[in-house]
Amino acid sequence: MTCGDIIPGLNSVIRFAMRYFLISRELSNCLKYNYQVANIYGVQYGFRGFKDYPLIKINSDEVRKIHHDGGSYLGVSSDHDVEPELILDVLKKNKINQLYVVGDLKDHEMIYKIYKEIV
């Protein structure tokens, strides 16, 4: 998920994360055997994506060259008007147990709200 404003390098972060998770043998084995990760999804348009957009399945072929594009492959939004309960419901429904967020302080405050809801 990418949040906040469009800044240079967002697609590079997405691409690097996907290359690292899908191509690195050691990490892929760790995710596969320790965490049973079968699918990786992107959340479109920040936290708003949990309520307004479907998750998109991402593979390394799709993101191989996105670092050459401007903007964000996933889209960005500064909308934080999403209840943590809704986010957790979407994550549970899709059997997602890890969420990576690239954003600013407000986005990290939202992550903390999600954390408090989990606890």
Using CA atoms, how far apart are residues 10 and 68, in angstroms rounded to an integer? 11
Top CATH class of 10-118 equals: alpha beta
pTM, entire model = 0.71
Using CA atoms, how far apart are residues 31 and 37, in angstroms rounded to an integer? 5
Asked if residue 59 lies in contact with residue 22, where contact means CB atoms within 8 angstroms, the answer is yes
Q: 10 burial class (0-12, 13-18, 19+ CB within 10 angstroms)? A: buried
Asked if residue 50 lies in contact with residue 80, where contact means CB atoms within 8 angstroms, the answer is no
Q: What is the pLDDT of residues 19-67, one digit of tens each?
A: 444 433 333 345 556 677 677 788 888 899 999 999 988 766 666 666 6
